[in-house]
Amino acid sequence: MFRDIGAPGLIVLILGALLIFGPKRLPELGESIGKMIREFKKSVSGIDLEKDENKNIEEKKEEK
């Protein structure tokens, strides 16, 4: 979807965000989006770790 944006499209998006949110709120918005992405990655990796732990427990039960 966003593969074909390119530099001109990115500039238009940034200018649009500046017009909508203003220069004072834009850094706050970027920070909150960054936090949201970090939390999402943590939750996804946590789910992967739980799956691995469950597999290890099941394998140990099958060995016995």
Residue 49 lies in a domain: yes
Give the largest Cα separation in the chain, rounded: 65
Read off the pLDDT of each residue in 3-19 and give the average, rounded to a whole number. 86
Residue 12 lies in a domain: no
Residue 18 lies in a domain: no
Structurally, the chain folds into a number of domains equal to: 1
15: its two tokens: 């200018």
Residue 45 lies in a domain: yes
**Domain interval for residue 64:** 23-64
- The structure's pTM equals 0.51
Q: How far is Cα 9 from Cα 29, in angstroms, rounded to an integer?
A: 20
- Please say if the pLDDT value at position 1 is more than 60: no
Residue 11 lies in a domain: no
- Please say if the pLDDT value at position 18 is more than 70: yes
Residues 6 or more apart from 26 whose CB is under 8 A from it?
A: 17, 18
Q: Residue 64's pLDDT band (boundaries 50, 70, 90)?
A: low
